[in-house]
């Protein structure tokens, strides 16, 4: 994490989203009437009683007529969650209420609680609709959100494996499982950091602690594993805490307010992370696995860029050409630090000499400078 908290995706936005849905999922008691939309969730269909309704307090009366447990979501055009309800069993009913602003939305049923769901486009009418983005931009954000979600979902089992190794007291196994458990987080750090309360719990370094704050998370365990070389009851407890905190993170991704601009800036910020934490060897000061984080940061930045590239290349072809070349060059440079291009086993950073660190730093600067111009190219 960065020492200074400067969330790209304002944490306040998340809070707003959470309040908007007011979490008023009251079971049963479908009253019907004004502002009520009936949703029939089946295994192969998601039927809604109205495709256009007025803004304000809206109740979704959900009935699961299928054979699988389902979920129902109301989604913004970029797949950000307005409100949702999980675990609606076959044959049961649920009412979800939320304050919904004018605009275009999708209602999605997810039989089996997986995948993108079966969707119905709906229109919420009224004054004060939010400015629309282009379909390309919404598609880019939706694709990025699903990437972030996938990273979170991939991270959880790895974090559990890491926790299991810690709890077994096996130092070598825990050390081995440490860096891989961080990859998904590092790839999507700007989004993860936007949930202000999670980052300080899972990714804070000793020097980033505030007065009175208890040190928890990856780096606390990193110190135990590499510097103290000791796993005690405290560490075993912290391993469970880490998994719990990461589970909260995974749940929040859907609510993150992501925009094309914040994606572009997030890409740049991932490079900032590399420049200020990894190239200096500060991030992984005990394990020296900085190059694993470096690679993950770079991959996350490249993902954002690739998703925005159709828009950026149209507005600023020279920039896109430059970025393609710089990403390729930095990836190639990083590849010289691993024997197998498909593995995430990199040279320990304490074995990287100062002049080679400078070479890495120069490579980061070469990419980060044009990358800082991506946001402007996306909104042009």
Q: Which is nearer to other proteins, 66 or 363 (CB)?
A: 363
Give min distance, CB of 90 to other proteins, in A. Answer: 48
Alpha-carbon gap, residue 315 to 303, rounded angstroms: 19
Measured from the CB atom, the residue of 254 and 266 that comes closer to other proteins is 266
Rank residues 345 and 376 by Cβ distance to other proteins and give the closer one: 376
| Residue 257 CB, nearest approach to other proteins (Å) | 16
- Taking the least distance from each CB to other proteins, the nearer of 186 and 273 is 273
Measured from the CB atom, is 26 or 362 closer to other proteins?
Answer: 362
Place of tokens 């510097």: 227
Contact between 268 and 192 under an 8 Å Cβ cutoff? The reply is no
Give least dist CB 253 to other proteins, A: 24
Question: Residue 268 CB, nearest distance to other proteins (Å)?
Answer: 9
Q: What minimum distance in Å lies between the beta carbon of 240 and other proteins? A: 42
Measured CA to CA, the distance from residue 271 to residue 323 in angstroms comes to 13
CA–CA distances in Å: residue 166 to residues 201, 241, 242, 288: 18, 12, 11, 19
CB of 30 to other proteins, least distance (A): 45
Six-digit token string for 53: 């309704």
DSSP per residue, 273-331: HIIIIITTT-TTTTT--HHHHHHHHHHHHHHHHHHHHHHHHHH-HHHHHHHHHHHHHHH
| Alpha-carbon distance values, 320 to 128, 131, 230, 256 (Å) | 36, 27, 48, 27
Report the residue number, 143 or 366, with the smaller CB distance to other proteins.
366
Report, in Å, the least distance between residue 8 CB and other proteins. 12
Nearer to other proteins, 62 or 371 (CB): 371
Which residue, 242 or 308, has its beta carbon nearer to other proteins? 308
Walk across the sheet containing 103-109 and list its strands. 52-54, 118-125, 103-109, 70-75, 81-88
- The smaller minimum CB distance to other proteins, of residues 198 and 264, is found at 264
Instruction: Give yes or no for a contact between 379 and 261, defined as CB atoms under 8 angstroms apart.
Output: yes
Structure tokens that stand for 122 in this block: 């709906």
- To other proteins, the closest distance from the beta carbon of 7 in angstroms equals 17
Element (H, E) at 57: strand 56-64
Which strands, in side-by-side order, build the sheet including 46-48? 24-27, 93-100, 56-64, 36-41, 46-48
- Rounded to a whole number of angstroms, the minimum distance from the CB of residue 373 to other proteins is 6
Phi, psi of 62 (to 5 degrees): -100, 135
Binding-site ranges for other proteins (CB under 8 A): 261, 264-265, 322, 326, 354-355, 358, 362, 365-370, 372-373, 375-376, 378-380
Find, among 296, 276, 245, 282, the residue nearest to 364 by Cα. 276
Neighbours of 348 (CB within 10 A): 14
């Amino acid at each position: 994490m960065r020492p200074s908290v400067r969330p790209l995706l304002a944490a306040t936005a998340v809070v707003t989203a959470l309040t908007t849905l007011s979490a008023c999922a009251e079971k049963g008691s479908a009253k019907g009437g004004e502002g009520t939309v009936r949703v029939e969730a089946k295994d192969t269909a998601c039927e809604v009683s109205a495709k256009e309704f007025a803004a304000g307090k809206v109740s979704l009366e959900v009935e699961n007529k299928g054979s699988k447990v389902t979920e129902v979501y109301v989604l913004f055009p970029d797949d950000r969650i307005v409100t949702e309800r999980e675990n609606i069993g076959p044959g049961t009913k649920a009412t979800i209420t939320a304050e919904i602003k004018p605009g275009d939305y999708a209602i999605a049923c997810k039989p089996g609680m997986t995948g993108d769901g079966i969707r119905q486009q709906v229109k919420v009418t009224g004054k004060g609709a939010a400015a629309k983005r282009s379909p390309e931009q919404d598609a880019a954000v939706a694709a990025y959100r699903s990437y972030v979600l996938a990273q979170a979902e991939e991270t959880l089992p790895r974090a559990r494996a890491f926790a299991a190794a810690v709890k077994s007291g096996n130092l070598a196994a825990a050390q081995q499982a440490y860096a891989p458990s961080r990859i998904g987080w590092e790839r999507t750090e700007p989004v993860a950091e936007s949930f202000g309360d999670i980052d300080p719990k899972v990714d804070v370094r000793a020097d980033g602690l505030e007065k009175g704050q208890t040190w928890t998370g990856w780096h606390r365990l990193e110190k135990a594993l590499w510097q103290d070389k000791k796993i005690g009851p405290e560490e075993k407890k912290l391993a469970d805490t880490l998994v719990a905190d990461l589970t909260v993170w995974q749940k929040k991704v859907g609510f993150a307010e992501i925009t094309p601009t914040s994606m572009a800036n997030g890409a740049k910020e991932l490079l900032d992370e590399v420049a200020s934490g990894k190239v200096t060897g500060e991030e992984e000061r005990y394990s020296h696995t900085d190059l694993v984080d470096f690679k993950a940061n770079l991959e996350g930045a490249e993902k954002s860029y690739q998703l925005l590239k159709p828009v950026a290349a149209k507005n600023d072809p020279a920039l896109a050409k430059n970025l393609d070349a710089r990403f390729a060059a930095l990836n190639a440079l990083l590849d010289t630090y691993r024997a197998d291009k498909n593995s995430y086993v990199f040279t320990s950073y304490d074995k990287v000499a100062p002049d080679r660190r400078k070479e890495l730093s120069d490579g980061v600067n070469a990419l980060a400078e044009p990358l800082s111009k991506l946001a402007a190219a996306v909104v042009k």
